[in-house]
Amino acid sequence: MILSVVFAVFFLAVLVAMDGAAVAAKLWDASPMAVLAALCIVQLQVVLSAYRWKFTAHRLGQEIAFPTAIREYYIASTFNQVLPGGVAGDAIRAYRSGKDGMDGMRKPVAAVALERFSGQLAFLTLLSAGFLAWPFLPQEAMPAEFSQAIWLAPVVALTAIIGGVFIAAAFFPRKFAQYRRHLAEVFWHRGAFIRQFLTSLLVVATYVATFAIASAAVGATLPLIGLLTVIPLCLLTMIIPVGVGGWGTREAAAALLWPVIGLSSAAGVSASILYGAISLVGVAVPAALFLVHATIRDLMGAKAAKRLHVKDSSLA
């Protein structure tokens, strides 16, 4: 855990130190209206993600009220961004949603895992579609070497998924049969595919839009091809289990990828830092309000119960 924090801080400090003045200037001049717009999109992102989680859980037999799903998603997203690994918040979300259930933690854990899996598939779909569409888009062309090498990302990811399926089927047949039923119920049966696909695509679109607005806010407006390729690649680096909340790895990717579409590394690092700040503030403030409200409600409930107990004692 400590090493993850040190890695994130060190990596980010090195990147900023490479052109600190330019990065600081771009962040200082960021458009407040653009930042506000991006913060609003983050709220939509959480609501859509919470709906996807509620739907996934329902298909597995776990019922979660929509307001509860929204609250828990804000809290989980905050912990994901401030704790190492990027999945601690999801573990907390699974635990909190299942701790009062009668069926144990199997369904809550499966619901959270499959909901996140749906999002990663949508990212991979967008990334692959971007590279397929790239030759036909009227934007500046990427270097040929980049376009050839970058295909490795979706190919490697798809190969890993297929390989993982075959390994699971061969070595864990009983577990695989169980999860195959879960996958069919969550992603295919009774029109699930349309809901999962559209919801996940909208969620991915909010991530891309937030990053694109952050880049525009620091004076580095991305072409359409950048929205379909460069941003998804940057976001995918956040799932690498090092650092904290994607800090460091995301900025390194931005520093390498922004020049590919004709923008500076400093612009990429600035956009990534601003995106990270917007994403964190956008979920942390509502999460804090939810927790404060819950604390006040519990304190008031405890005081009311105490007064009732004193009254009953006096009558006795």
Q: For residue 90, what pLDDT band results from cuts at 50, 70 and 90?
A: confident
Q: Extract the tokens encoding 186.
A: 């969550």
What is the Cα–Cα distance from 274 to 201, expressed in whole angstroms?
23
Cβ burial 120-133 (10 Å sphere, 16+ → b, else e): ebbbbbbbbebbee
- Per the prediction, the chain carries an average pLDDT of 79
Q: Extract the tokens encoding 161.
A: 């998924």
- The SS3 assignment for 84 reads strand
At residue 314, the pLDDT reads: 58
Report, as an integer, the average pLDDT of 130-139. Answer: 63
Query: Burial level of 47, CB count in 10 A (0-12/13-18/19+)?
Result: middle
At residue 204, the pLDDT reads: 92
265 or 163, which is more confident? 265
The DSSP letter of residue 2 is H
pLDDT of residue 315 exceeding 60, the answer is no
Helix, strand, coil shares, percent, the chain, to 5: 85, 0, 15
What is the Cα–Cα distance from 26 to 220, expressed in whole angstroms?
9
pLDDT of residue 259 exceeding 70, the answer is yes
Cβ neighbours of residue 255 closer than 8 Å, sequence gap 6 or more: 15, 18, 265, 268, 269
Q: Name the β-bridge partners of 53.
A: none
- Give the rounded percent of residues in the chain with a pLDDT score beyond 70: 71
Q: For residue 111, what pLDDT band results from cuts at 50, 70 and 90?
A: confident
pLDDT of residue 252 exceeding 80, the answer is yes
Report, as an integer, the average pLDDT of 123-131. Answer: 77
At residue 287, the pLDDT reads: 93
At residue 275, the pLDDT reads: 95
Query: Burial level of 315, CB count in 10 A (0-12/13-18/19+)?
Result: exposed
Q: Extract the tokens encoding 162.
A: 């297929």
Q: Extract the tokens encoding 200.
A: 């996940």
Place of tokens 């895992």: 113
Q: Extract the tokens encoding 71.
A: 């609250």
Helix pair angle (106-133, 32-59), 10° resolution: 130
Rounded to the nearest angstrom, the gap between the alpha carbon of residue 184 and the centroid of all alpha carbons in its chain is 24
What is the Cα–Cα distance from 175 to 109, expressed in whole angstroms?
14
Alpha carbon dihedral 176, 180, 182, 187, in 10-degree steps, equals 140
Q: For residue 296, what pLDDT band results from cuts at 50, 70 and 90?
A: confident
